Structure 1
Amino acid sequence: MVVRLRSQDPRQPEPGRHGGARANQLALQEAIKELIVQRGLAPGSLLPTEQVLARELEVSRHPLREAMKALEALGIVDIRHGYGTYVGSVSLGGLEAGLAFRSARSIKGDLSDIRDLLEVREVLETGLVARVLDQFDQIDLPALEEAVAEMERHASSGEYAPDADLRFHETLYQPLGNALVLDLLRVFWRVFHAMDGDLPREQADPAVIASWHRDILEALRSREEPALRRAIGVHFHAIRARVG
């Protein structure tokens, strides 16, 4: 596999030299990703040594190291000094950081990015209602009950229980067996929770928040799709009201 880099021939200068260098670097990163995919390397697999990769990709070691650092930041590779470079697990940390930044910026503006984030989360959760009911027998109802009960106990003292809130949503969608869905739910939840205190309108009373989750649980127990969809919708409608 050869990386198709932009011409470095001084007799053929290109406008925007820095742009050309960036294009070369991006091409190299894409070549490394393609190598991982083409060879079917799973997360945790050891990549060829730097010397071997440089020879296979026909690049020098310096741009190769820069490419590896960029891919490590994305979680695509895991550089273990003294041991080698491995295929990474590709977490959603970059997505979470980007959404957190956009949301923080949105608080100082028109809140549109925050509203968009809530809409995506709502579409994701309500869109999975039918699948959740299909997996009803696999749902850990006692764990959901305990999460709601914990929220109610804290609410009796005027306190919100964020850990129980997140655990409720994780438990609800766990039976789907979709790790990406759970990761996305955690990202959306954590981003919104981090900016919660900076939103223009106050959070709902903890007892009301607990009641939303109690209603979702009871609708789930009824195994009626319209009721469950409606209960989840009420939950998000109340959240959206905080950002207009």
Structure 2
Amino acid sequence: MALGQGAVRPVVPEPKAARQPLRQEVVDGIKAYILRNKLRPGDPLPTEPALCEALGASRSSVREAIRILTALDIVEVRHGHGTYVGRLSLSALVESLAFRGLLSPDDDFQVLSDLVEVRELFERGMADRLVASLGEDQIERLQGLVDEMRAGGSGGGDGFVETDRAFHTLLLAPLGNDLIGQLSTAFWDVYVIVAPHLDVFTYEHEAATIADHQRIVDAVRDRDPAEFAAALADHYAPVRRRIAEARARR
């Protein structure tokens, strides 16, 4: 039917297929700007009008691109201050893996097993370097974390988890490899989020866990990479067993 004079024409949304390339083009343009100018985490990005002009994009397109990049931790919006290069962490990976584990528990016992295997691979695979590189101050800090676990008694809970996580983070610190450190922490975060929902994460073997950590510290103090690797293998074995038992109960 023809529209009468003065009638308002319906707004036809732009096809999604047409919007996608433009959005991705702006996202890629901002990433290219960061790389081209060799910006580092915390460095400021141009203002929104400047980005619009530089990329030849509308304000809405730039804002949408910034939202996408913020979710990926590539940029950070500080309200009232501006937009900055983000921490470039693996938070998006953590969110994706954790959601997958929560969404499909029947399929993702294997994901948990893989995460544990990768964490163990980082630590055991670097046994020689870690034992040689950990300084006396770091060893004492590791011992302090074990003492903290022991002082916590049998209560378990979030405090024990955070101490355990700090222990393994410190263990890998001498490598000076940010990627390994971030991946290990990301896999730990996913495990802590997903495992309780799969009835895997328990504190029933807490005394044995503390003993395993003490054995790891003792091996480092003795500069014994073979014992260090063996202690790690024994430390991760119960985790693998609990995953297998939980899978069998499903």
Task: Give the deviation of 1:62 after TM superposition.
Answer: 1.7
Give the corresponding residue for 1:181. 180
Cα distance in 2 between the residues matched to 1:146 and 1:52: 51
Give the corresponding residue for 2:131. 133
Give the corresponding residue for 1:50. 48
Which one has more relative contact order, counting CA pairs under 8 Å at least 6 apart? 2
- Amino acid across the alignment from 2:238: A
Count of residue correspondences: 228
Give the corresponding residue for 2:196. 197
Aligned to 1:35, which of 21, 33, 42? 33
Task: Give the deviation of 1:103 after TM superposition.
Answer: 2.1
Query: Is the CA contact (8 Å cut-off) linking 2:101 and 2:108 kept in structure 1?
Result: no
Deviations 1:189-222 (A, max 9, x none): 2322233433345734111111111221122222
Cα distance in 2 between the residues matched to 1:92 and 1:26: 20
Give the corresponding residue for 1:238. 238
Cα distance in 2 between the residues matched to 1:94 and 1:201: 24
Query: Is the CA contact (8 Å cut-off) linking 1:106 and 1:113 kept in structure 2?
Result: no
Query: Is the CA contact (8 Å cut-off) linking 1:129 and 1:229 kept in structure 2?
Result: yes
Task: Give the deviation of 1:109 after TM superposition.
Answer: 3.5
Cα distance in 2 between the residues matched to 1:236 and 1:144: 18
The TM-score normalised by the length of structure 1 is 0.82
- Amino acid across the alignment from 1:242: R
Aligned to 1:69, which of 62, 67, 70? 67
Matches within 5 A, 1:108-127: 108-109=106-107, 111-127=109-125
Query: Is the CA contact (8 Å cut-off) linking 1:25 and 1:63 kept in structure 2?
Result: yes
**C-alpha spacing 1:51/1:199, structure 2 compared with 1 (3 Å):** closer
Structure 2 gaps, min length 5: 1-13, 245-250
Q: Which SS does the other structure have where 1:90 is aligned?
A: coil
**C-alpha spacing 1:50/1:167, structure 2 compared with 1 (3 Å):** closer
Task: Give the deviation of 1:66 after TM superposition.
Answer: 1.0
Task: Give the deviation of 1:81 after TM superposition.
Answer: 3.7
Identity of aligned residues (%): 34
Structure 1 gaps, min length 5: 1-15
Cα distance in 1 between the residues matched to 2:209 and 2:32: 46
Give the corresponding residue for 1:168. 167
**C-alpha spacing 1:147/1:34, structure 2 compared with 1 (3 Å):** same
- Amino acid across the alignment from 1:187: A
Cα distance in 2 between the residues matched to 1:197 and 1:166: 16
Cα distance in 2 between the residues matched to 1:94 and 1:235: 28
Cα distance in 2 between the residues matched to 1:187 and 1:101: 13
Cα distance in 1 between the residues matched to 2:78 and 2:219: 49
Task: Give the deviation of 1:158 after TM superposition.
Answer: 6.2
Cα distance in 2 between the residues matched to 1:152 and 1:49: 51
Matches within 5 A, 1:195-234: 195-200=194-199, 203=202, 204-234=204-234
Cα distance in 2 between the residues matched to 1:54 and 1:198: 45
Q: Which SS does the other structure have where 1:86 is aligned?
A: strand
- Amino acid across the alignment from 1:59: A
Query: Is the CA contact (8 Å cut-off) linking 1:46 and 1:87 kept in structure 2?
Result: yes
Cα distance in 1 between the residues matched to 2:16 and 2:145: 54
Query: Is the CA contact (8 Å cut-off) linking 1:139 and 1:175 kept in structure 2?
Result: no
User: Which range is displaced more, 80-89 or 50-59?
Assistant: 80-89
Cα distance in 2 between the residues matched to 1:104 and 1:139: 39
Task: Give the deviation of 1:37 after TM superposition.
Answer: 0.5
Cα distance in 1 between the residues matched to 2:176 and 2:145: 20
Deviations 1:70-123 (A, max 9, x none): 112212122234433222222222122112112223434451221122222222
**C-alpha spacing 1:81/1:164, structure 2 compared with 1 (3 Å):** closer
